[in-house]
Chain A
Amino acid sequence: MDRERKIRVLATKPGLDGHDRGIKVIANALMDAGMEVIYTGLRQSPEQIVETAIQEDVDVIALSFLSGAHDFLFPRIMELLKGKGVDDVLVIGGGIIPDEDISSLKEVGIAEIFGPGTYTDDIVKYIKNNLKR
């Protein structure tokens, strides 16, 4: 594992949801923790997200969602990643996601879900401890 390089994170908003306060706060916190953050802005289709992740060669994808479409969009992104043979990127999610949905999201490969009230420091620690490459 080459850790000379900074940890590269794709921070993104899949779907049509416009609530970007959380993801921007996290993007700032990850940058303050020394990571390199590529923030895509709003309204990214699953295809765009996967393409950007590959092009930018990121170690982590951080998905934020508050409008309830995580049940469709998160699995779709995992499916596309798998289809492209990407299996060494840590994918995490956050936003308004009911606890009862978390196990099915983990089953498709989302490593962790961070809900309201999470400390950004905990996300930084989690990323550092769980990188897949």
Chain B
Amino acid sequence: MFDDKKIGEIREGYRKWTDVLEARLAKRPERKGDFVNTSDIPVERLYTPLGVADFDYMRELGLPGEYPFTRGVQPTMYRGRLWTMRQYAGFATAEDTNRRYRFLLEQGQTGLSVAFDLPTQIGYDSDHPLAQGEVGKVGVAIDSLKDMEMLFDQIPLDKVSTSMTINAPAAVLLAMYIAVAEGQRVSSKELRGTIQNDILKEYSARGTYIFPPKPSMRIITDIFSFCSREVPQWNTISISGYHIREAGSTAVQEVAFTLANGIAYVEAAISAGLDVDEFAPRLSFFFNAHLDFLEEIAKFRAARRLWARIMRERFKAKDPRSMMMRFHTQTAGCTLTAQQPKNNIVRVAFQALSAVLGGTQSLHTNSMDEAFCLPSEEAVQIALRTQQLIAYESGATDTVDPLGGSYYIEELTKEVFGRAQDYIDKIDELGGAVSAVEKGFIQREIQDSAYRYQREIEKGERVVVGVNRFQVEEESPKDLLRVDPSVRVSQMERLKRLKSERDSRRVKDIVSGLKKAAQGNDNLMPIILDAVRAYATLGEICDALRGVFGEYQPVSTIG
């Protein structure tokens, strides 16, 4: 980016500056001997044009909205339209959660994000024995279309976009959403939103799997194919690094393992006979915004560039939209501290700013009280206001990729890209992401990083304000949001009523048809849609599939 003469001058100047500095450092050393970031990348004292002297601008960065999308997926980014402010929410019953959604929409939130309880995420109805103690706790309990209708009561599905954190039973919840829309006379073609539908990171990091990898990948490709025809504006998957990072990975591992999973989904869909440009434009991603502000910004940019390369060079995609990595971001839940919880407001603010400077398409900001419980209304309002402050007051949104061209950011972007690529090569050698999970490789890498991080905190090498430095005596928080255990009882009553009111013979017929379809190769989506319309429950549908597909047995990676 500079001519040879200028580079020579800079090199000469840098050398002199270093000589003078060395003498001074002998007397007054820096705070630490080595500066490294969370991915173990050494951080230099100073970055200059010397580091980017050979940089090929058009190849590495290009222009926003153009390959390789390093500078952003839209030509005008936030000058055109701000990111979608989307707070993940859900608890107790569909009625309770519906009230929270309407509160959030009134407060200026621009999209919904559904948190389901664990029984729903694992395909059990609320009356299942394993659901005891869990119903409505970490999200809303959904047993049938009846609950889903209440969840979206008075929310026009042609106006909002909805993201659903649902993986193993994603096909069922998507079918319910389509059926609710039918009830509102909204065509599936108008629906906008996302299902997470990313089973591979469930095996390695998040834990809400049901079926083994092979049938899980088949359901996912069925969804890709069905949606490309019937729900064309829907994001059919949100390939998620968020949970990989929460489980303890580094920033580089987050990018690498997420993109390796992405590669596995693309390969599965191509071998199921789909054309890459038919489904790839609807793939979306989900990342974590962690503490190291500049490393995070570089991470987002590197991930975009790497995905674009993979799609164009490895999968020969032709449609630029297939190469364009669109992603949601959530601030890092694992960095919230129970100690001095108001400090979390500030942590969330700079994490959120890193996501915006990294070019995110939508954002969830955590609430300060989430190290204790589900967020209170006051805490979630501050979290949403944090996004609005960045959007409307900070000025960070007025130009595209404001940190592009920073010597440090560009070198770091290159470094994250290269190290993530090395990991992907290694996963390829292991036979791809599915095989790497089955061998326990990804799980071990994540847990080793998590352990190292914890040791660094305990040894005081990593400062956590309020935890290992600057502690105070404090009282425990009061008035936490709690879910009433009677939610399970009311869900069970509702299920009983549903089962007595619906046409049970019809449900039985459809469910046995679903089993047959699961044994064959037909797309499962149309029949799942029929099942939910007839008010078959989530548990009934998932049990039918469990009967055919079996359940995933995890490998042990401890000891």
Contact = CB atoms under 8 A, between A and B. Distances in A.
Do A and B form a real pair? yes
Contacts of A15: 118, 130, 133-134
Interface string B111-130: 00000001101100000011
Interface size band for B: 35 or more
A19 B482 CA distance: 19
A42 B207 contact: yes
Contacts of A121: 458
Interface string A8-25: 000100011111110011
A117 B476 CA distance: 14
A115 B458 CA distance: 15
Interface stretch (B4-12, B57-65, B331-339, B409-417): B331-339
A111 to B, nearest CB: 19
A126 interface: no
Contact of B248 (A21, A29, A45): A21
A69 B133 contact: yes
B134 A98 contact: no
Contact of A71 (B133, B202, B339, B458): B133
Contact of A16 (B134, B482, B485, B558): B134
B371 to A, nearest CB: 5
A46 to B, nearest CB: 9
A85 interface: no
Contacts of A96: 371-373
Nearest to A68: B137
Nearest to B557: A24
A100 interface: yes
Nearest to A24: B447
Interface in A20-40: 20-21, 24-25, 27-29, 31, 37-39
Contacts of B131: 16
B554 A68 contact: no
Contacts of B246: 19, 21
Interface in A49-88: 67-69, 71-73, 76
A121 B413 CA distance: 36
A99 interface: yes
A20 B373 CA distance: 17
B500 to A, nearest CB: 28
B334 A16 contact: no
Contact of A116 (B132, B138, B202, B337): B337
A115 B341 CA distance: 14
Nearest to A117: B467
A20 B133 contact: no
Nearest to A98: B480
A39 B137 contact: no
A18 B207 contact: yes
Nearest to A19: B207
Contact of B556 (A25, A39, A119): A39
A67 B137 contact: yes
A27 B447 CA distance: 11
A77 B134 CA distance: 15
Contacts of A20: 207, 247
Contacts of B371: 96, 116
Contact of B485 (A43, A72, A98, A119): A72
Contacts of A73: 132-133
A62 to B, nearest CB: 12
Contacts of A100: 476, 478, 480
Given A18-B207, A18-B208, A69-B134, A120 B337 contact: no
Nearest to A97: B372
B554 A45 contact: no
A119 B460 CA distance: 11
Contacts of A41: 554, 556
A84 B261 CA distance: 45
B450 A21 contact: yes
Contacts of B133: 15, 69, 71-73, 76
A120 B483 CA distance: 30
A28 B118 CA distance: 27
A18 to B, nearest CB: 2
A41 B209 CA distance: 13
A130 to B, nearest CB: 20
A116 B338 CA distance: 6
B451 A16 contact: no
B559 A39 contact: yes
B17 to A, nearest CB: 42
Across the A-B interface, give the 6 residue pairs with the lowest CB-CB distance, nearest first. A18-B207, A72-B133, A69-B133, A99-B476, A16-B118, A39-B558
Given A24-B450, A38-B559, A98-B373, 14 more contacts: A16-B121, A27-B559, A39-B559, A41-B554, A42-B554, A67-B134, A67-B138, A69-B133, A71-B485, A72-B132, A72-B485, A98-B480, A100-B480, A120-B458
Interface of A: 11, 15-21, 24-25, 27-29, 31, 37-39, 41-43, 45, 67-69, 71-73, 76, 96, 98-100, 115-117, 119-121
9 contacts: A16-B119, A16-B131, A18-B208, A25-B447, A27-B559, A31-B559, A43-B207, A68-B138, A100-B480
Interface of B: 118-119, 121-122, 129-134, 137-138, 202, 206-208, 246-248, 334, 337-339, 371-373, 447, 450-451, 454, 458, 464, 467, 476-478, 480, 482-483, 485, 554, 556, 558-559
